Amino acid sequence: MNRDQLIADLRQAEGVRATVYDDATGQPIRPGSLVEGHPTIGVGHRVDLPLSDAFIDALLEADLTERIHLIDVALPWWTGCTEPQQRALVELVFNMGLHGLERDAARFLIQLRAGRGHAASCELAGLPWANRVGPTRAGRIIAQVQA
């Protein structure tokens, strides 16, 4: 079977959509939308079915690759951080978004860039983010920043 041709045929027939839509109407699904068919994304992929572990892992890998690229571009100094600090930074961007981190945690970033892990962790602990994510996650990430 010519898999490349099959993929081209499906992309043509189903269309390619980067946002969730109602497959019955073709309309984007937004909060409060009434859905007549099935929520669908990509090339006819129904999102109201359980996802396989492999699909979830592939999504996570794609998300991590995207966030790491954003950090590489916006904060090139981050590669000089310790490995636990790097993981903390990726997780923060994963949770807050890069713009949210730059907006809400500028003093944290200044301290981290300067190599002051303890001061950076103190800045992080004082953010509303710490309350939002809870003590377990916040405590783990704060400890990584100190390492």
pLDDT tens digits along 119-129 = 999 999 999 99
CB-CB contact of 34 with 7 (8 Å): no
Report field, pTM of the whole predicted structure over 0.85: no
All domains of the chain in start order, with CATH: 3-46 (no CATH), 53-146 (1.10.530.40)
pLDDT tens digits along 39-53 = 999 999 999 999 899
pLDDT tens digits along 13-44 = 999 999 999 999 999 999 999 999 999 999 99
Read off the tokens for 43.
């090339």
d(CA 43, CA 112): 42
CB-CB contact of 105 with 129 (8 Å): yes
Mean pLDDT of the chain: 95
- 67 Cβ contact partners less than 8 Å away, ≥ 6 residues apart: 90, 93, 94, 98
E strands of 33-101, at which residues?
A: 39-42, 45-46
Over range 89-94, report the average pLDDT: 97
* Selection from 140, 108, 139, 146 nearest residue 124 by Cα: 108
Over range 72-98, report the average pLDDT: 97
d(CA 97, CA 54): 25
With 90 as the cut, is the pLDDT of residue 147 above it? no
